[in-house]
Amino acid sequence: MKKFWIVLLALGLVAGFAMSASAADVKFSGSYYVTGIYVDNPELRTQAARALSAQAFYQQRLRIQTEFKVAEGLSLVTRFDALEKPWGHWAPGLAWRNDGGTPRFDVTNRLADAAGTDARTQENIEFERAYIDFTTKIGRFNVGYQNFVAWGTMFLDTHVTRPGIKYFVPVGPLTVVAAIEKTADKNVGNGITAAADANIYDLGFIFKFGAGEAGLMYQYGDNNINRNAIPGVAEFSTKLHIFNPYVKAKVGPVYVEAEGVYGTGKIVDSELPTLPSVDGEAMGLYIHAKGDVGPLYVGGIFAWMRGDDPATTNKVEGTLAAALLAGQAWDPCLILWNDGIYGGQHRLTTPVGVFFDNAWFYQVYGGFKPTKQADIMMSLTTAYADKKPTVTWLNDNYGTELDLIAKYKLFDNLEYMVGAAYLWTGDFFKGSVATTPIDNNFMLFHKLTLAF
C-alpha cells in the first residue's frame, strides 16, 4: 500500500509540473558540438626541451536555452550547459569537470568555487542563466542571472553570466541601455566587510541608421572586495571608468566595423600611507573590413591593445583585458588568442592567454564559397607585443600564424568544420634568456556543430 501511495504522489507531481508548463508558451534553442583536436607543441619548445608531449583529445558541450512566455511581454529565460567536458576525462576522488590542476576547461565563466578547484559543484547539468524579461510602458527590463560583457562587436566580448538588472528604452532610432552588474558580494554583517562588494554600473546608447549602427557604453566599476583584505596593511578599492564606442556599417559589398576602448581610474585606491595608490589606464582599437565579390570574399583586421610599462610601478598603462574579462569570445586565430577551438582544454603554456592584450595584430584573409553549403577560408596573421613584460625581456615578436578552415553544412542546422593552423613562433617566447629553445607549433581539428 505504501508503494502505491508513493507512485500516486509521484504521478501527481509529474502532472502538476506538466500543467504548470502548459500554461506558458515554451521555446527551446541551443547547440551541441563535438571537437577533435591535435596540438603538436603547446609549450612552443624544441623536442628535447618539452615537458609535454603532443596533445590529442575530443571535447563537447550541450547548451539548452528555454524561454517560458507567460504573457505578452513577459518571459522567464533559463539556460544550462550539460556534459561540458573532454571525452573520457576522469580524475580519482573528483567529479568529471577537471582534476583541480591547470589548465582547466573553463574557469572564467564557470568557477566551481572561489578557487576554481572544487569540481563537485559542477556536475552533469550546470544552470548558468535565469532571468525575467518583461516590457512595460516605460521600457524593457531583464532581471536575474544573464549575459554581460557583450557590447558592440565581438572584439571585447566574453559573454559572462552575472546577476544584474538591465533596462532598455527606445527613443526613435536611439536606444538607451542602463544596467547594474553584481560581480561579487562579501557582505557578512560583521562590521568589518559590511561593504566589501563589487558592482559595475552601465550607461549606453545605440543609434541605428540606414547602413548600420553606432554605440557608446560608459561603465563605472566599483570593486571593494579588498577593502579589508588585511586591516591596516592591505586595505584598498579599485575604481575604473571605461568608455567603449563602436560602429558597424555596410556600404555596397563592403562591411566595416570598428571598436575602441579607453579606461582610467585607480587600480589601488588606498588611504594607507604604507600602501601607495596605483593608477590604471587602458587603451585599445579594433578595425575590421570585409568585401564580397560573388562567391569570393577578402578582408583584413587590425587590432591593438596597449601593454603595461614595467618601469612604472605607480601606474598600470595597459594589460587589463584579463582583469576586466574582456575579449574571451573573440577568436581571431586558431592558436593565438583562441578560446573556442584551441583554448578549451589545452591552452598555450606561455604568457599569451585567451584575452587579447598587449599586442599589435595584423591579419589578412580570403575565402571562397563554391556552393551555398560550403565555405573555405585562409588567413595570415602576424603580431607583436606592445610592451615587453619585464625590463629584461628580449623580443616583442609573437610570431606569424597561417590558418585554413573549411565548413560544410550537412543540414541547415548541422555543420561540419575542419581546420589546420601553423604558428611560426616568434622570439617573444624566449623571454629574458636568448638561448631559450623555442620551436614552431601546428594544430589540426574537426568539429561537428548542431544549432537549433
In the chain (452 residues long), the average pLDDT of successive 10-residue segments reads 43 44 80 94 88 85 96 96 78 43 43 42 74 97 97 95 97 97 74 72 97 97 80 79 98 97 94 86 97 97 96 89 90 90 58 85 98 97 95 95 98 97 95 94 96 96
Specify the pTM.
0.86
Residues β-bridged to residue 11? none
Residue 230 has a pLDDT of 60
- At residue 288, the pLDDT reads 98
DSSP string, 367-419: EE-SSSSEEEEEEEEEEE-SS-SSTT----EEEEEEEEEEEEEEETTEEEEEE
| Cα 243 from Cα 148, distance rounded (Å) | 16
In a domain? residue 48: no
Q: Is residue 239 part of a domain?
A: yes
CA 433 to chain centre: 32
pLDDT at 133: 98
Quick count: other Cβ atoms within 10 Å of Cβ 295? Answer: 13
Which pLDDT score, from 0 to 100, does residue 195 have? 67
User: So what's the pLDDT on residue 233?
Assistant: 62
User: Which pLDDT does position 96 carry in this prediction?
Assistant: 43
Structural domain range at position 196: 138-275
- Neighbouring-strand partners of residue 259: 246, 286
Contact of 174 with 167, CB cutoff 8 Å: no
In a domain, 298, yes or no: no
CA distances from 118 to 46, 121, 185, 248 (A): 35, 7, 20, 42
Name the domain count of the chain.
1
Residue 254 lies in a domain: yes
Q: Is 413 within the bounds of a domain?
A: no
Backbone dihedral region for residue 224 (phi beyond 0: left; psi -120 to 50: alpha; all else: beta)? alpha
pLDDT given at position 88: 73
Contact 390, 406 (CB under 8 A): no
Residue 218 included in any domain: yes
Q: Is residue 52 part of a domain?
A: no
Q: So what's the pLDDT on residue 371? A: 96
Across 210-253, the runs of DSSP E, i.e. the strands, are: 212-223, 237-251
What does the alpha-carbon distance between residue 57 and residue 112 come to, in Å, rounded to a whole number?
Answer: 23
Cβ(34)–Cβ(447) below 8 Å:
yes
- The pLDDT, as a whole number, for residue 118 is 43
Q: Is residue 171 one of the residues assigned to a domain?
A: yes
